[in-house]
Structures are given as structure tokens and as C-alpha cells.
Amino acid sequence: MTIEKKIHKAGPYADYFCQGVRVDNALYLAGQVGMTESGDIPSELSGQVELAYKNIIAVLGEFGASMDNIVDETFFVTDMEDCMANVPAVFAAREAAYGKKPEVCQTLVATPALVDPRLKVEIKVIARL
């Protein structure tokens, strides 16, 4: 068994967990949010989705992987009504990140809160290399 771990240097909790852990051909990622390294957060859900995927792509890239490697994703959204009302924009941001209609499993549930009150979505993905 081969294990490889990647720890982002940025962020207040960088010391406490990895953004990605690869075990053989399975790659687990920490839930990603739409926050820049300097702490900026877009106000719109679709903008946060776009940024969360940008962060996901960065972590995947550290393992030599890309969006093509994602097999499963879970969305935790703080406002399901807002999410469903903005499905076209949200799915467009997602499709842009994948570069095509994503062929991955998806689970979409609401959460009362994420780690920052401005956050509207956290995306947890599993990839296979």
C-alpha cells in the first residue's frame, strides 16, 4: 500500500488536516469551500461553487490528477431553496469546472451552517487515479 498526503500551507487550520490523502489509487479530498487563500468569499452560490472547484482542482493537481478523476461528490448547501432556484447557474459553474457534463455520482443535502457564516456550499469529492 502506498500512501501520499498533501497539506496546504495556507489557511488557519493548515496544521490540522490534509487537503488530500492518496492511498493506492483512491484519493480522498477534504471538503472544499468557495474561499480564496486571503479569505475572500463570493456572495453568490454559483460564484462559491466556481471557487470551490478551483480549490478542488488545485488539490487534485498536487497529486497529478484532474477533474476527470472525480467519481463521487457531495454538496452541502446552507440554503436549499436558494440552491434549487439557482440550479442553472450552479450546474453551469460545475459543468465549466469539469469541462463537460460531469459523469460522477452526486449527493446534495442541506446543512444548517458551514465553518464561516458567509459560506453557502461545501463540496466533498472522492477521486480515483
**Is residue 104 close enough to count as binding its own copies by CB under 8 A?**
yes
Minimum Å gap between C-beta 3 and its own copies is 7
Set of cell numbers at residue 23: 492511498
Stretch that binds its own copies, among 40-48, 49-57, 119-127 (CB under 8 A): 119-127
Instruction: Find the radius of gyration of the CA atoms of the chain.
Output: 14
* Rounded-to-integer distance, Cα 60 and Cα 86, Å: 27
What are the backbone dihedrals phi and psi of residue 30, each rounded to the nearest 5 degrees, phi first? -65, 150
Q: Enumerate binding residues for its own copies (CB under 8 A).
A: 1, 3, 5, 7, 13, 15-21, 23-26, 28-31, 71-72, 74, 76, 80-81, 84, 87, 91, 94-95, 101-115, 122, 124, 126, 128-129
